[in-house]
Chains A and B, each alone.
Chain A
Amino acid sequence: MNIPKNLFYTKDHEWARVEGKAAYIGITDYAQSSLGDITFVGLPKEKEAVKQSEYCATVESVKAASDVYAPFSGTVISLNNELVTHPELVNQSPYEKGYFFVISLGDEVEKKNLMDADTYQRYVEGLNGGSVK
């Protein structure tokens, strides 16, 4: 299970990578492997406001359709439109080519509601009732 050190994580298995005043947002390796082959990603619109912990996108796999919740509040500044035609990028590269969108960051205080890599690792292990592969 790949859990990069420099990211912020949610209990719902989203990640955020903060770069200056912007944040890249996607779903974790654990999320993509639990969902299985992803067949569709529904992205928000540019300039749309998203709120921390609230619905911001949809992801569908052969098993299920799931809501994606925003790790941070902010405004959507750009989308990863590659996912529209190549949703499999989320499976292949959840933290790089499979990111969902970029937002301009609102309140950085919201970081306190998120997990760092070590805490997220322990959280995922707890869900599995054992060690993460």
Chain B
Amino acid sequence: MQLIFEKHKQGRRGFCFPGPDVPLAKPLAAKYCRSKDTHIASLSELDVVRHYTNLSRLNFSVDTNFYPLGSCTMKYNPKFTERIAAFEGFSNLHPLLPQLAGGGMLAQGSLEVLYETEKFLSEITGMSAFTMQPLAGAHGELTGVMLIAAYHKNNGSRRKYVIVPDSSHGTNPASAAIAGYQVIVIPTGKDGYMDLEQYKKHLNNDVAAVMLTCPDTLGIFNPHIKEIADMAHQVGALMYYDGANLNALLGKARPGDLGFDVVHINLHKTFGTPHGGGGPGAGPVGVSEALVDFLPIPRVVRRSDATYALEYHRHKSIGYIAPFYGNFGVILKAYAYMLCLGKDGLIEAAELAVLNANYCQVMLKDHYDLAFEKNCMHECVFSAARQAKNGVHAIDIAKYLIDKGYHPPTVYFPLIVKEALMIEPTETESKETIDAFIEVMIEIAGLAKDDPIRVKQAPLHMPIKRLDETKAAREPNLRWKP
């Protein structure tokens, strides 16, 4: 496929300017003029339209195909939330308005959305209050760890460590490190849970927090959560809940009841707002009563006359962590999604997410090795170790799936599973779609035995065939040059 620069034809134009109808100004001094050619392609309007239309037809998305990318929760987002976010009353509101004198009264609807969303999330997670500011999940994590640091500092305690299991999301240790903590990684035991003996060994008065993803990245719910939380609290450490997988627990268990003190939620994963493409995302952070004072400013409050306002004077607050009030459009879509599904709908979404993943697990477990022999939650993790013996690796299976019109599952993550294939069908897919996917997965397992070369050649039907990923990483070619 040609780049637009390669389609360039000297002298071809999409538009011709008419001659000037006013006297020409003096030409700019040479020092203000470009000395090198810009190499902007010269093309007709039709050339440009065809180029980009054809490029757009190569796009792959949830709106076109099944996308079972584990840990990422690429579920379908109902379109009505887009319509609501586009309402002029919301989309034309200037974010400074509530900060101007009297402006808050002109933004009551938006302030109410922020306030109500916070109340919903608090109820769902069992936390006391939320900040809606963080702009993505990882940003929420950093905010959460900063809140933990502020809490310990306020108690006059200087703690050095944050504990994470080796099955945690990679962003957990990164967030803890950026917030200034040293990270202690606890291995996973043979039973698929964090090794409790190792955990006890490393837990002491210098530990600021324990960060857990629940269900974890193996798609497994850890039955020892309460025990882990109690032990952490005994030494004064706080429990951090990475809510990336909250979509499995909605209405079934609340992090607050399990003993967590700080929670972040990925609205785009659990509450049906767009995901991928780098954002905009939203990673609200909820806290228990003891940490409410440290939340970022401003806070949205409901006054006694039932109006809403922004509150800035909170001297223990960690301050601003993002401009204004977060990605408001995303928060609004999540709010609309929650209102539409209601309590029963949200619970059913979680049940279907878990049911679909378990269905995939049961249907595929004779064909691929299960990472751990347990019922899964919202995602199931296989190992392609059996196929790898014939030279068919997780990456080859992924490439073959692309040929068949499926986005591959997550591969080589979690790192603790060899040749990992992590499948998350989500609640939004029908049985027919999941069955068709399972059929292809079984076909690949068969080919891995009988005709491994066929799998290793994939993709054969894509515009771009097998990429040399090693060369792309070692010698990245990031820019077209004339």
Interface size class of B (residues with CB under 8 A): under 10
**In the bound complex, do residue B412 and residue A37 qualify as a contact, i.e. CB atoms below 8 Å apart?**
no
**In the bound complex, do residue B470 and residue A62 qualify as a contact, i.e. CB atoms below 8 Å apart?**
yes
Residues from 398 to 433 in B contacting A, C-beta threshold 8 Å: 412-413, 415, 418
Chain B residues in contact with chain A, CB under 8 A? 412-413, 415, 418, 469-470, 473-474
Taken together as a complex, chains A and B put the C-alpha atoms of A42 and B418 apart, in Å, by 24
Option from B412, B418, B473 in Cβ contact (under 8 Å) with A39: B473
Taken together as a complex, chains A and B put the C-alpha atoms of A34 and B470 apart, in Å, by 15
Interface centre among A34, A39, A40 (most CB of B within 10 A): A39
Q: C-beta contact mask, A63-85 vs B, less than 8 Å → 1, else 0?
A: 11010000000000000000000
Q: C-beta contact mask, A2-35 vs B, less than 8 Å → 1, else 0?
A: 0000000000000000000000000000000010
**In the bound complex, do residue B415 and residue A39 qualify as a contact, i.e. CB atoms below 8 Å apart?**
no
**In the bound complex, do residue B412 and residue A63 qualify as a contact, i.e. CB atoms below 8 Å apart?**
yes
**In the bound complex, do residue A64 and residue B470 qualify as a contact, i.e. CB atoms below 8 Å apart?**
no
Nearest CB of A to B416, in Å: 11
Contacts of A37 in B (CB 8 A): 469-470, 473
**In the bound complex, do residue B412 and residue A34 qualify as a contact, i.e. CB atoms below 8 Å apart?**
no
Option from B413, B415, B473 in Cβ contact (under 8 Å) with A62: B473
Taken together as a complex, chains A and B put the C-alpha atoms of A60 and B469 apart, in Å, by 13
Nearest CB of A to B468, in Å: 9
**In the bound complex, do residue A62 and residue B418 qualify as a contact, i.e. CB atoms below 8 Å apart?**
no
Contacts of B413 in A (CB 8 A): 64
**In the bound complex, do residue A64 and residue B473 qualify as a contact, i.e. CB atoms below 8 Å apart?**
no
Taken together as a complex, chains A and B put the C-alpha atoms of A111 and B116 apart, in Å, by 60
**In the bound complex, do residue B418 and residue A64 qualify as a contact, i.e. CB atoms below 8 Å apart?**
no
Taken together as a complex, chains A and B put the C-alpha atoms of A127 and B470 apart, in Å, by 26
Contacts of B418 in A (CB 8 A): 34
Contacts of A39 in B (CB 8 A): 470, 473-474
Q: C-beta contact mask, A83-115 vs B, less than 8 Å → 1, else 0?
A: 000011000000000000000000000000000
In the complex, residue of chain B having the shortest beta-carbon distance to the beta carbon of A39: B473
Taken together as a complex, chains A and B put the C-alpha atoms of A39 and B468 apart, in Å, by 12
Taken together as a complex, chains A and B put the C-alpha atoms of A60 and B470 apart, in Å, by 11
